[in-house]
Structure 1
Amino acid sequence: MTIPHETPAEQRLDHAPLRSAVIVNPNRVEGLDELRAGIREQLAEAGWPEPAWLETTAEDPGTGQAEQAVADGADVVFVAGGDGTVRACIDGLAGTEAALAILPGGTGNLLATNLGIPTNTIEGVQLALDRGRRLVDLGEVEGQTFAVMAGMGLDAAMVDDAPTKLKAVLGSVAYVYSALKHLNDAEMKVEIQVDDYPVLRRRARTVLVGNVGRLQGGVNLLPDAEPDNGQMDVAVLAPKNLGHWIQTAFGVLRPGRNKVPNMEVLRGSRITITSDRPQPRQLDGDVIEPSATLEVTVRPDTLWVCVYQPDTSEDLTEGAPAAD
C-alpha cells in the first residue's frame, strides 16, 4: 500500500496539486470521451496533473483498478459508475489515505445521496478540488466491504430479481416491481446477535444492516444511522401481509416518526444474523452467495470520502489520522 506524504487534512491546508485517477464503468456511464475531456480540463485549470484513466471490466469491477491507483500514488480516486462500481472500488481504497470522489453514473449512488454529494459531474470534481473530506466507517462481510447497507431476505431477493433493463429505464421503480413478486415469500426465523447482548429470536421478512439510512427514492429507513459512529443500525422488518407492508411504508414515510409498525431497530458494531434456512444476501445492491448467516463487522474510520468543505471555522486537522 502506498501512503501519500500528507494526510487529507494536511492536503486541504497547503492546497498543493494532488495526483488523481479516474475509474469508470464503461457499461454504466455514457459519453466517456466527453467525461474524460471535462475532468481533464477541470483538473488542469486547478493546476492538478492529468489523472490516470482506468476502466472496469467484467472480470474486475473496480477493486483492482482502485488498488492500482493507490499503488501509483493517487491522492484522489474519482469513481464514475453505479453503487456496484463504487463498492468494488471501496474494497481497493479501504484503509488507505486515498480519498474517494464519487461521480454520477449507473442506476444510483446511495453513498453519494447519504453524504450529500452532488450528482453533477462538474460539482463532483469540484468537491475534490475544494478538499473537503470525511472519514467514514465500512462494514465487512466475509472479507468484502460495504458502505451503505447489507441485507438478508426479501431485500436481497428484490435486488436480485430487478431486471437490469428496467432499472436503466425506471430507476428505483424497478425495485418496486421486483418487491411485489416477493411479498408472499415465506418469512424467516432468525436469531440476531448484536455485540455481547443476548441473542434475539424473531420472525422477519428481511433484515438490513445500515451504515447510512437512505434508500432508493429518498426513503429514509434508518434516520439515526451515522456513517462515522463506529456502529451500524439493524432494521428487522416483519410485516405478515399486504396490510402490514402498507402500515410499514406509511410509518417509514411519516415525518417526525417515533416508531415504525412491524419494524424493530437495533444498533451495534458486531452483528450476526442466522436464519433457519439459506437466504439471498446483498451488499450495497450487489448480490452475494446465499447463506443462512450474515455476519457484519464494523471497520471504524476506514474510508476517506470527498464531501462538501466544512465551515472554515472548524479545525481542519480534526479527524486526520495520527502520524506514525
Structure 2
Amino acid sequence: MTDIVSPEPEAGIGQPQGAPLHVLTPHAPLKRVVMLVNPLSGSVGPRAAAEAEATLADYDLESQVVVLDGGNFDQAIAEAFAASADVIFVLAGDGTARSVASKAKPNGPMIAPLPGGTMNMLPKALYGTADWKLALRRALEEGAPQVVSGGEVEGEYFYCAAILGSPALWAPAREAMRTGKVKLAWAYARRALKRAFTGRLRFSLDGGPRRRAEALVLISPMISKAMEEPNGLEAAAMDPSDASQAFRLAANALFSDWRHDPAVSTRAAKRIDVRARSRIPAVIDGEPVLLKSEATVRFIPKAFRALAPRPPAAEDSL
C-alpha cells in the first residue's frame, strides 16, 4: 500500500503558477478526500495515481491518494474510513467499489466509485461516463449527497442489477456488444444458451405465490426505466419455454429493451426468495458469483450516500 498526499494547491502542482483553483461543488462540504487507486484494475493503469494527485491539486481541499498494492486491500480501505474524509473516491474494479460502498452505510462518508473496472455499472449510472477523470471532476464540481438504494443477497450488495439463473452470462455479452465487440458478445451469448434449461428457478416476491422462471433480474430504482420511486427492486422474470424463445430473449437482451419480450414479466418487490436444485449462478453489478441453492434477496432503501451530480447522470439504464 502506497500513500501519495497531494501538496498544497498553491505549490502549483497540476496547474500553472497563478492559475485560479477550480470551484468545488456548492452542494456538499468538501474539505478532506481520500482516493483509493488500484493500478492493476481494468483500464486504470500505472499513471493513474499521479494523474489523480495532479487533478485533486486543482481544488482547494486536503487530499490523499492511496495506491492499492500487495493485496492488502482490506487494511487500506479500513484506513481510508478512519481518515475522517468527507468523501472516499474509488478507482478500482467493480468488486472493490461495491465493497467500499457496502462498508459506508447511510451514516458513513460519501462514496464516489469512479469507472476503473470492466463493466463499471455503478459509476456509469452515477456519472454517465466511462472516463474516470471526467467522473472525478463531475463529482468535485457538481456533486451532491445522493442516497443510493440497492439490494443484498448472501452478504453481497448490489446497486444496479443482479441477474440470477443460467442466463446470467448475458450481462457480459451485452457489455461486449455495447463496446462493439460483436464476436465476443455472441461467444458469451452462446455460452449462456448452452447452460440454459439445466435448472429453473423457483421464486416468490414479498411472500407471494411461488413461480418458476429460467432467470430473474433484479434492478435498482436508480437505473430502472420502469420505476419512478425507490419503493423496491424491479423484479423481472424471464421465462422462455424452449430454445427458440431463449435465443430470441438473448437477442432482445443484447439489442433492445427486453421488457417488451413476451417471455418477461416485471413488478416491484422488497423481498425475493429464490430456490433451485443446485447452486445458482449470478452476476451482481457485473461480478459473477455462485449463490447457494436457496437465497433471499432484500431491498435496501438507503444503502449508502454517493457524491454525484443531481440527478445521477446515468449513461445507461436497464
- Fold match by TM threshold 0.5: yes
Aligned partners of 2:149 and 2:221 also within 8 Å: no
Task: Say whether residues 1:111 and 2:113 are aligned partners.
Answer: no
Give the secondary-structure state (helix, strand or coil) at the position aligned to 2:47. Answer: helix
Note the alpha carbon deviations across 1:114-166, whole angstroms, 9 max, x for none: 23432223321212222323111121112221112222211345679x9xxx9
Give the secondary-structure state (helix, strand or coil) at the position aligned to 1:294. Answer: strand
Q: Which residue of 2 aligns with 1:270?
A: 271
Aligned partners of 2:121 and 2:286 also within 8 Å: no
Give the Cα separation in 1 of the matches to 2:296 and 2:70: 29
Change in Cα spacing, 1:94 to 1:206, as seen in structure 2 (3 Å) is: same
Note the alpha carbon deviations across 1:69-117, whole angstroms, 9 max, x for none: 1221121111112322222222222334312223222322111222343
After TM superposition, the score normalised by the length of structure 2 is 0.75
Note the alpha carbon deviations across 1:201-230, whole angstroms, 9 max, x for none: 21x22212121586xxxxxxx52146x704
Q: Which residue of 2 aligns with 1:304?
A: 305
Counterparts of 1:223-302 in structure 2, within 5 Å, are: 223-225=225-227, 229-249=230-250, 253-254=255-256, 259-302=260-303
Task: Say whether residues 1:35 and 2:37 are aligned partners.
Answer: no
Aligned partners of 2:259 and 2:265 also within 8 Å: no
Q: Which residue of 1 aligns with 2:192?
A: 182
Task: Say whether residues 1:51 and 2:61 are aligned partners.
Answer: no
Question: How many positions carry a matched residue from both structures?
Answer: 283
Give the Cα separation in 2 of the matches to 1:57 and 1:94: 27
After TM superposition, the score normalised by the length of structure 1 is 0.73
Give the Cα separation in 2 of the matches to 1:98 and 1:274: 36
Give the Cα separation in 1 of the matches to 2:288 and 2:157: 13
Change in Cα spacing, 1:31 to 1:207, as seen in structure 2 (3 Å) is: closer
Counterparts of 1:1-16 in structure 2, within 5 Å, are: 13=26
- Among 122, 141, 146, which residue is 2:153 paired with? 141
Note the alpha carbon deviations across 1:242-288, whole angstroms, 9 max, x for none: 43134335655557x87422111121111111123332233223233
Give the Cα separation in 1 of the matches to 2:27 and 2:230: 28
- Among 220, 244, 247, which residue is 1:211 paired with? 220
Structure 1, unaligned stretches of length 5 or more?
1-10, 215-221, 312-324
In structure 2, give the amino acid aligned to 1:110: M
1:231 Cα deviation after fit: 0.8
Give the Cα separation in 2 of the matches to 1:52 and 1:309: 26
Change in Cα spacing, 1:282 to 1:122, as seen in structure 2 (3 Å) is: closer
Give the Cα separation in 1 of the matches to 2:301 and 2:44: 36
Give the Cα separation in 2 of the matches to 1:156 and 1:237: 11
Change in Cα spacing, 1:58 to 1:34, as seen in structure 2 (3 Å) is: closer
In structure 2, give the amino acid aligned to 1:151: I
Structure 2, unaligned stretches of length 5 or more?
1-23, 313-318
What percentage of residue pairs aligned between the two structures are identical? 21
Give the Cα separation in 2 of the matches to 1:234 and 1:246: 21
RMSD: 3.4
Counterparts of 1:186-205 in structure 2, within 5 Å, are: 186-196=197-207, 198-202=208-212, 204-205=213-214
Q: Which residue of 1 aligns with 2:113?
A: 102
Change in Cα spacing, 1:15 to 1:232, as seen in structure 2 (3 Å) is: closer
185-194 vs 121-130, which moves further: 185-194
Counterparts of 1:123-134 in structure 2, within 5 Å, are: 123-130=134-141, 131-134=143-146
Give the Cα separation in 2 of the matches to 1:113 and 1:310: 13
Give the secondary-structure state (helix, strand or coil) at the position aligned to 1:297. Answer: strand
28-37 vs 102-111, which moves further: 28-37
